[in-house]
Amino acid sequence: MERMSTPEKILVPLAPGFEEIEFVTIVDVLRRADLDVTVASLQPGSVRGSHGIEIAPDAALGDLDTSVFTLIVLPGGQPGTRNLAADGRVLALVRRLASAGAGASRTRTAAICAAPVVLHAAGILRGVEVTAHPSVHKELVDATVNTESRVVRSGSVCTSQGAGTALEFALALVAELKGAARAAELRAAMRA
């Protein structure tokens, strides 16, 4: 008998100063793939991005049972990344998922643009290959920074370079979680 896998529960935390293109692209593509995505603000209420666009989250992080989440996806942007990195709840969840994902065949922590800094702040990047926005490469001192690849998966960590790679990053997550055929279907539908 084939064993059924537990559906992923994905958290996308939203902090003031997030990068709008990254956030919207990631959440949109993951939801198009019928993945269970919850957008949570660090504080109750809407959140303003780095370019002035306000987003209403599904919930405030403090109102959620974070133990149910199996994957965290961190959008970049400034000061959004710094705000995420300063939040102990986000860092604790990153650590828990990284620990649970040790040796795993699936991504448990994902970050784009400057957000790999959050993974660094959580202390999970020692010896891990990552990519990120060039503005934060020097901060990722424990990681092996890949400056060429647009999306890098290393163990249970997946990273990407920035707003221009957001669609590729989101589709890579879909390919991993729902299969290459589903990602190709979405890519074709969006003419990506």
The residue type at 84: L
Q: Per the residue annotation, which of 12, 21, 73, 113 is the catalytic one? A: 113
The residue type at 65: D
User: Which 3 state secondary structure label does DSSP give 188?
Assistant: helix
C-beta atoms surrounding 190 within 10 Å: 12
Q: For residues 38 and 64, what is the distance between their CA atoms, to the nearest angstrom?
A: 10
Do the beta carbons of residue 166 and residue 160 sit within 8 Å? yes
Beta strands across the sheet bearing 59-60: 59-60, 36-41, 9-14, 71-74, 109-112, 157-160, 151-154
N- to C-terminal Cα separation, the chain: 37
Q: Nearest Cα to 107, choosing from 14, 35, 34? A: 35
158 is annotated as an active-site residue: no
Do the beta carbons of residue 70 and residue 12 sit within 8 Å? no
**Any idea which residues carry the catalytic annotation?**
113
